[in-house]
Amino acid sequence: MRKQRGMTLIGMVIVAFIAGIFVLAGLRLTPIYLEYMNVDSAMKSMKRDLDGSNAGPGQIRTALERRFDIDNVKSLRARDIKVERTANGYMVQAAYESRAPFIANVYFLVDFNKSVEVVR
């Protein structure tokens, strides 16, 4: 009698199911991380443009609002950005959470925190 080797059909279905869960998780989380990359890019661009220009909190928020509109950032508005005065200028901080549905009533909650310092 020959000994059978390999994976059974049930084993292959289980492996495919587990792989499908990871693929679905990746598909649900990708837009959230792409939007975070847009927020990161907008903040770096704002810092590069406003460094040394003696910009105030209003100018900082206006510059971020324009960049968020261009980059289609929906989960964060410029009024949600925290702008604090420091010795060298302003610390601009974007701290927010983003939620994505996974399966039924299970959600992914991702916490982001990005800050840059705009020098006067």
Is 104 domain-assigned?
Answer: yes
Is 4 domain-assigned?
Answer: no
Q: Tokens in use for 3?
A: 């000994």
Structural domain for 93, as ranges: 9-119
Q: Per residue in 42-86, pLDDT tens?
A: 999 999 999 999 999 999 999 999 999 999 999 999 999 999 999
Instruction: Supply φ then ψ for residue 45, to 5 degrees.
Output: -65, -40
Q: Which residues contact 8 (CB under 8 A, 6 or more apart)?
A: none
Is 3 domain-assigned?
Answer: no
State the Cα–Cα distance between residues 79 and 77, nearest whole angstrom: 5
- Whole-model pTM: value is 0.86
State the Cα–Cα distance between residues 96 and 111, nearest whole angstrom: 6
Q: Tokens in use for 51?
A: 């460094």
**pLDDT band of 6, cuts 50, 70, 90:** confident
Is 31 domain-assigned?
Answer: yes
Is 48 domain-assigned?
Answer: yes
**pLDDT band of 5, cuts 50, 70, 90:** confident
pLDDT at 2 over 80: no
pLDDT at 10 over 90: yes
Domains in the chain: how many in total? 1
